[in-house]
Amino acid sequence: MATPEEIRRIERIACDLRTDVITMIGVGKVGHIGGSCSLAEIAAALYFSKMRFDPKNYTDRDRDRFLLSKGHTVPIQYAALIELGIIPREDIGGLKTLKGKLQGHPDMKTPGMEAVTGSLGQGLSIGVGMALALRYAKSPSHVYVVMGDGEIAEGQIWEAAMAAARYKLDSLTGIVDRNRFQATGATKDVFDIPNLEDKWRSFGWNVISVDGHDVGAVLDALDAATTTKGIPTVLIAETVKGKGISFAENTSAFHNASLTQAQYDQALAEIAEAKRKLQ
């Protein structure tokens, strides 16, 4: 169980990641704000606490792998890699620009990326393949795959889920960012998938439901996932789209949107105030 000091440290890092996301997107440039900010605590918990991942040796064979299947929210992964010093901070303003190095979806040319993702539904299949290869290599590495709750309407997700259970891939953890909104509206209105926990269990997975913004609960759930043997584990993380930015929370309008100068300033101020309260 994480200490209060460790929880507070990760909470502060989550604020830094949100700040980096907003800075990256800037004013007048369209970017995936909502789904990036809903993942901040999860990304912070993985990169800065749970994963076997040395930023000074990030290509180490036995590192843990992080796959962002919902690749459009790559700003949150860039933010983590910037805070770790793997991506230079001076690259932060070049997101989705011809002169910049940070593309709109994960690319293997970017330091710290494990796969090209963003064609929704494919990330879990990649994770299954990685976990199998690492098993055969007798590697202690764990593979984490983050999926969107809109993305899991893709059939390939469930084919990969069956394969992971068939091969008893306990070195694979899936994380569903269940923020309940996607590009065109609420997930329940676009493509409803009820009884999500029961569905994953029926496919042979260990299922853990968790508040995706409760850092202590997230860390405990990740610990439980990596100590569960014989079957893969999925975390159903209840999150808030656009978390930490009042005007963006729980709205599809900021799934992929641009910010005015006033909105940009307000977003940074709200995140800074949230971090101040954690001191």
What pLDDT does 133 receive? 98
Tokens for 251, please give them. Answer: 């709205």
What pLDDT does 234 receive? 99
Compute φ and ψ for 148, nearest 5 degrees: -90, 155
**Percent residues over pLDDT 90 in the chain:** 98
Q: How far apart are CA 218 and CA 195, in angstroms?
A: 21
What pLDDT does 102 receive? 97
Contact 259, 25 (CB under 8 A): yes
Q: How far apart are CA 223 and CA 232, in angstroms?
A: 13
What pLDDT does 279 receive? 84
Cα of first residue to Cα of last residue in the chain, in angstroms, is 21
What pLDDT does 81 receive? 98
The segments of the chain whose pLDDT lies below 50 read none
What strands, in cross-sheet order, belong to the sheet with 233-238? 65-68, 143-148, 172-178, 233-238, 206-211
Q: How far apart are CA 195 and CA 161, in angstroms?
A: 16
Domain 4-276 has CATH 3.40.50.300: no
